[in-house]
């Protein structure tokens, strides 16, 4: 998995700081997660190929997470896109986008599919043979979902030396990777585990923004490879976090620790803090493996 941070600051776009959007590359997919104003420019700046984006996941309908969506959809149209585009987001997102396209008589010439969400329980909203995406209901001022991206176990890896030594014909290799046994040179069946390695363990990425401290999510994100958790405030401004239903860096770290994730990525910083290191320091008092999201940063998960 490769995560590209297009923007990770809260609220108002600035010359040097973009609000939330990120691209997750997983098993051949490029998933766009949130789409603040300016996302299409950030996609170009960081050389993300527009045509590879087919699924957009919108956490909630605050402007700093979705005001760039209609512009992106329009730009796709102007560029002659043909591939379908699927939008997953809170109920109302379809009306907001289509109204604006209608006012400009700018209908898309590609398939635009809205998957509106209103369920308050986790639900699988995308699934193929390699990956699934499940909502993570969060606690914010408006209906909000995080998203859990989970790889499915891959094929077993062929131990090509072992297979050759045993004289297994290469016509069996595909079946072997799927877990089947295969005959050796003498026609005796070789157990699959003797000619394969275990596949890489499936990875998972949990995206949780925006949300108050909400331990109800812990069972769902347990043992995730990486957790992006918003940290709009430092503990210094705990009162503001509580009032606006955001989290502090310390709270994000507490979630990471309790969920036993491998890696915590912080973001959605309030503009009031000149130095982001304070977020890392505060979180690391509780949870060691902390990365600060920054616009343009690419994170291997």
Nearer to a second copy by Cβ, of 90 and 267: the residue is: 90
Bridge partners, residue 2, by sequence: 25, 300
98 binds a second copy (CB under 8 A): no
51 binds a second copy (CB under 8 A): no
- Binding footprint of a second copy, residue count (CB under 8 A): 36
Nearer to a second copy by Cβ, of 142 and 185: the residue is: 142
Judged by CB under 8 A, the stretch of 63-71, 120-128, 222-230, 277-285 that binds a second copy is 63-71
170 binds a second copy (CB under 8 A): no
Q: How far is the CB of 244 from a second copy (least distance, A)?
A: 11
146 binds a second copy (CB under 8 A): no
Nearer to a second copy by Cβ, of 50 and 126: the residue is: 50
120 binds a second copy (CB under 8 A): no
159 binds a second copy (CB under 8 A): no
Q: Active site includes 34?
A: no
Which of 9, 60, 245, 250 is the binder for a second copy (CB under 8 A)? 60
Which of 6, 30, 70, 259 is the binder for a second copy (CB under 8 A)? 70
Which of 1, 41, 160, 218 is the binder for a second copy (CB under 8 A)? 41
Which of 49, 80, 105, 223 is the binder for a second copy (CB under 8 A)? 105
Q: How far is the CB of 110 from a second copy (least distance, A)?
A: 15
54 binds a second copy (CB under 8 A): no
Catalytic residue among 16, 34, 64, 169: 64
Nearer to a second copy by Cβ, of 13 and 122: the residue is: 13
SS3 track for the chain:
CEEEEEECECCCCECCECECEEEEEECCEEEEECCCCCHHHHHHHCCCCHHHEEEEECCCCCHHHHCCHHHHHHHHHHCCCCCCEEEEEECCHHHHHHHHHHHCCCCCCCCEEEEEECCCCCCEEEECCCEEEEEEECCCCCCCEEEEEEECCCCCEECHHHHHHCCCCHHHHHHHHCCCCEECCCCCEECHHHCEECCCCCCEEEEECCCCCCHHHHHHHCCCCEEEEECCECHHHHHHHHHHCCCEHHHHHHHHHHHCCCEEEEECECCCCCCCHHHHHHHHCCCCCEEECCCCCEEEC
Nearer to a second copy by Cβ, of 70 and 182: the residue is: 70
Give every CB contact of residue 204 below 8 A, 6+ residues apart in sequence.
Answer: 148, 149, 150, 151, 221, 223, 224, 225, 226
* 260 backbone φψ class: left, alpha, beta (φ>0; ψ -120 to 50): left
* Spatial separation of the C-alpha atoms in residues 282 and 217, rounded to whole Å: 21
* Spatial separation of the C-alpha atoms in residues 181 and 160, rounded to whole Å: 14
Judged by CB under 8 A, the stretch of 32-40, 187-195, 225-233, 246-254 that binds a second copy is 32-40
> Residues annotated as binding site for Zn(2+)?
60, 62, 64-65, 140, 210, 268
Residues that bind a second copy in the complex, under the rule CB under 8 A = 11-15, 37-38, 40-41, 44-45, 60-63, 67-68, 70-71, 74-75, 78-79, 90, 92-93, 95-96, 99-100, 103-106, 141-142
Q: Which residues are catalytic?
A: 64
């Amino acid at each position: 998995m490769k995560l590209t941070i297009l923007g990770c600051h809260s609220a108002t776009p600035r010359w040097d700081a973009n609000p939330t959007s990120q691209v997750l590359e997983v098993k051949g997919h490029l998933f766009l997660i949130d789409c603040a104003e300016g996302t299409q420019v950030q996609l170009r700046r960081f050389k993300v190929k527009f045509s590879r984006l087919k699924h957009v996941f919108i956490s909630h309908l605050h402007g700093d997470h979705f005001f760039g969506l209609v512009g992106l959809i329009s730009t796709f149209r102007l560029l002659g896109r043909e591939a379908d585009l699927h939008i997953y987001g809170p109920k109302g997102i379809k009306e907001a986008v289509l109204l604006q396209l209608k006012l400009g008589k700018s209908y898309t010439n590609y398939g635009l599919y809205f998957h509106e969400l209103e369920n308050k329980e986790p639900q699988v909203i995308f699934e193929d043979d390699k990956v699934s995406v499940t909502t993570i209901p969060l606690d914010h001022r408006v209906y909000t979902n995080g998203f859990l991206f989970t790889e499915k176990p891959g094929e077993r890896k062929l131990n090509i030396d072992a297979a050759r030594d045993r004289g297994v014909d290469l016509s069996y290799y595909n079946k072997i990777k799927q877990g089947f046994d295969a005959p050796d040179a003498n026609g005796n069946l070789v157990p699959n585990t003797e000619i394969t390695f275990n596949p890489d363990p499936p990875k998972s990425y949990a995206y949780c923004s925006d949300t108050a401290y909400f331990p109800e999510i812990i069972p769902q994100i347990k043992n995730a490879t990486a957790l992006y958790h918003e940290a709009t405030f430092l503990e210094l401004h705990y009162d503001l976090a509580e009032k606006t239903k955001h989290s502090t860096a310390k709270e994000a770290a507490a979630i990471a620790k309790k969920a036993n994730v491998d890696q915590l990525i912080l973001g959605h910083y309030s503009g009031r803090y000149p130095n982001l290191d304070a977020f890392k320091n505060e979180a690391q008092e509780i949870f060691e493996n902390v990365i600060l999201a920054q616009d343009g940063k690419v994170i291997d998960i």
